[in-house]
Amino acid sequence: MLEPTILEDEEEHKPIDLSWPDTTRKRIVYVLVAPIVFSLWITLPDCKSPRGRRFFFIAFVGSIIWIALFSYLMVWWASTVSSTMMIPPEVVGLTILAAGTSVPDLITSVIVARKGFGDMAVSSSVGSNIFDVCVGLPVPWLLDALAKTIGQLARNEPINLMPAEVKSEGMACNILCLFLMLMFVIISIACFRWRMNKGLGMAMFVLYFIFLAVALNLEFKTIKCDWL
Q: How far is CA 199 from the centre of its chain?
A: 25
The rounded distance, in Å, linking the Cα atoms of 213 and 94 is 10
Is 0.85 surpassed by the pTM of this model? no
Strand (E) or helix (H) holding 177 = helix 171-191
90-110, pLDDT tens digit by residue?
Answer: 788 878 888 877 777 788 888
DSSP assignment, residue 54? G
> What is the greatest pairwise CA distance in the chain?
70
48-78, pLDDT tens digit by residue?
Answer: 888 778 888 898 899 889 988 988 888 888 8
